[in-house]
């Protein structure tokens, strides 16, 4: 499953960032872009399932969803891309560069 491998990479990052097991991880904040096609509920489920047997058990997963955004290469206009419709709303050009929505990052770790 897609979300399981993502949950595993999140756990890997947490393990690398907090190697000291005396410290309790309270929450992990992740930024997830629309293009990653991650289902937040599913990611929550997988994350909690895999941390159950680790020192990070009980940590909260905070998911920040990032919209898919683009920038027109022709007129430079920036906009939100809806329904994967890659066209500039201002000039109609389809030469669109994706500027957001591909994120998959751990942005914050709250440690006790
Ligand atoms: Zn344009």
**Structural domains of the chain, count:** 1
Confidence grade of residue 22 (pLDDT, cut at 50, 70, 90): confident
> Does residue 88 lie within any of the structural domains?
no
> Does residue 87 lie within any of the structural domains?
no
Report the CATH number at residue 49.
Answer: 3.30.2320.50
Confidence grade of residue 1 (pLDDT, cut at 50, 70, 90): low
Give the residue numbers spanning the domain of 49: 3-67+101-111
Ligand 1 centroid distance, CA of 103 (Å): 23
> Does residue 48 lie within any of the structural domains?
yes
Ligand 1 centroid distance, CA of 95 (Å): 8
How do residues 27-43 score in pLDDT, each as one tens digit? Answer: 999 999 999 999 999 99
How many angstroms separate the Cα of 42 from the Cα of each of 49, 52, 53?
11, 16, 19
CA dist 13 and 106 (Å) reads 8
> Does residue 14 lie within any of the structural domains?
yes
How do residues 40-97 score in pLDDT, each as one tens digit? Answer: 999 999 999 999 999 899 999 999 999 999 999 999 999 999 999 999 999 999 999 9
> Does residue 43 lie within any of the structural domains?
yes
Q: What is the pLDDT of residue 50?
A: 96
> Does residue 79 lie within any of the structural domains?
no
Ligand 1 centroid distance, CA of 105 (Å): 29
Ligand 1 centroid distance, CA of 109 (Å): 38
């Amino acid at each position: 499953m897609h979300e399981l491998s993502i949950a595993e990479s999140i756990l890997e990052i947490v393990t690398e960032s907090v190697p000291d097991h005396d410290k309790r991880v309270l929450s992990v904040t992740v930024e997830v872009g629309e293009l990653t096609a991650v289902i937040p509920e599913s990611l929550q489920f997988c994350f909690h399932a895999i941390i159950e047997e680790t020192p990070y058990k009980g940590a909260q997963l905070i998911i920040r969803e990032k919209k898919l955004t683009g920038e027109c290469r022709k007129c430079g206009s920036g906009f939100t891309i809806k329904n994967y419709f890659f066209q500039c709303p201002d000039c109609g050009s389809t030469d669109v560069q994706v500027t957001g929505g591909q994120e998959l990052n751990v942005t914050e770790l709250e440690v006790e």
